Amino acid sequence: MKNFLFILSIFFSISTFSQTQKENFLHANAFFQRNFYDSATIYFEKCISQKFNEVFCLEKCAEIYFSQKNFEKTKEFLEKIEKLESGRASYKLAQLFAKTGNIEKCIENLKKHLSSHYKLPESQIKTDKIFAKIENSQQWKQLWKNDWYSKTEIQLANAAYSLKTKNFSDAFEILDALIRKNRKEHRAYFLRSKVYSETQDFESALNDIEKAIDIQPNKTEYLNAKFVYFMELKKFKQALNILENLEKKNFLELNNFYLKALVEKELQLFDSAQVHIEKYLFYLPENEEGLFLCGKIFFDSENYIDALKYFNVCLKLYPKPKYYLFRAETYLKTETYTYAITDFSMVLDYEPNNSEIYLQRAAARLKNQDRKGACSDWKKAKNLGNPKAEEFLLKFCE
């Protein structure tokens, strides 16, 4: 019995420590997103000391120190990354040395970067403004005399450029040729999936990203793309499975709470959706998208009073027409028609030619015993070309 209790106490200690690590990491990212960099640094450094997502946290600390022009601390954290994963921070170090005028160290780190699997496309490096002061130097010119990129890498870069410039036929042609040559080229499948996505062919996009994942199953970039394609195809259960698999891989992102709530709302899993969106808002209490989604979850679950609370906060912080519209529709559900009419009027101040809003305000006015006002709105909707207005005018106004 004593042995069992001892083992149980160890299990709970490990579980509590793991949870603390996760909480520190989520707090760090939340403070970072809210631009509270001093607090973010404290939590990132806690995670670093616990070796929890260590490289990611080192990168964030380096980014913060660089933005604060604390170049010594930036260098310190980037060099720690290099010791853990050679080549990963070499480009950032090159940028740092370019910024501080150390050309020799800049070129040294660029060479290291170009020799690593982290290397960026040549065009991206050459157009990076941070290197503008050294691009006429002999060392820079000498650097680019080497062939740093394979033919495949050059073709992938060309395809990515064609995709960026929306020249989809060229992108298809390049990527099809690469795939015919090498059926294991996961990067080509990934890029072609993005081309299909841009042309609204999400079934083909899904097919390609699944092939990329079969070859590289642990790339979060590919899993995130698959999630997007499932959402576009309204395959919400499969989309939810992607998020749950990412969690199992210890892939922690605040945005995952938001995405889970979004998917669960579509699946009408309102209780679970509410748990996840409230967790998201615990870390990011004034996040616009989070507040709005929380209001919509309450609305869809017919909890109109709480929906109003969140739409009120949205309007206080971010007065936009779509929030007036959602609040107006919520007021309709609670039969507070005068408030609904006021909010529909606010939307029309922003969108005076939106005939659908005139129809909605007319419905609220009719419910509020204002037939004359309703008829006026239906006439305006008809004049704006809305065919539904004619039926209401015949029924209620003539």
| pLDDT, position 3 | 52
Task: Taking residues 6-17, report their average pLDDT.
Answer: 42
- pLDDT at residue 398 above 80? no
Task: Taking residues 283-299, report their average pLDDT.
Answer: 98
In a domain, residue 391? The reply is yes
In a domain, residue 6? The reply is no
pLDDT per residue as tens digits for the range 364-394: 999 999 999 999 999 999 999 999 999 999 9
19 pLDDT band, cuts 50/70/90, is confident
In a domain, residue 351? The reply is yes
| pLDDT, position 248 | 77
Task: Taking residues 70-93, report their average pLDDT.
Answer: 97
| pLDDT, position 253 | 85
247 pLDDT band, cuts 50/70/90, is confident
In a domain, residue 356? The reply is yes
- pLDDT at residue 92 above 50? yes
| pLDDT, position 12 | 38
| pLDDT, position 17 | 47
Q: Which of 79, 49, 50 is nearest to 62 (CA)?
A: 79
Average pLDDT, the chain: 94
In a domain, residue 355? The reply is yes
| pLDDT, position 44 | 97
Q: What's the whole-model pTM score?
A: 0.89
Q: For residues 343 and 20, which has the higher predicted lDDT (pLDDT)?
A: 343
The CATH number that applies at residue 347 is: 1.25.40.10
The domain total for the chain is 1
In a domain, residue 28? The reply is no
pLDDT per residue as tens digits for the range 164-215: 999 999 999 999 999 999 999 999 999 999 999 999 999 999 999 999 999 9
| pLDDT, position 377 | 97
- pLDDT at residue 8 above 80? no
In a domain, residue 357? The reply is yes
- pLDDT at residue 396 above 60? yes
| pLDDT, position 18 | 59
- pLDDT at residue 52 above 50? yes
User: What CA–CA distance (Å, rounded) separates 392 from 92?
Assistant: 64
Give percent of the chain with pLDDT exceeding 90: 91
Q: Which of 311, 380, 312 is nearest to 345 (CA)?
A: 380
251 pLDDT band, cuts 50/70/90, is low
- Which residues span the domain enclosing 367? 320-398
Task: Taking residues 64-87, report their average pLDDT.
Answer: 97
pLDDT per residue as tens digits for the range 295-323: 999 999 999 999 999 999 999 999 999 99
In a domain, residue 387? The reply is yes
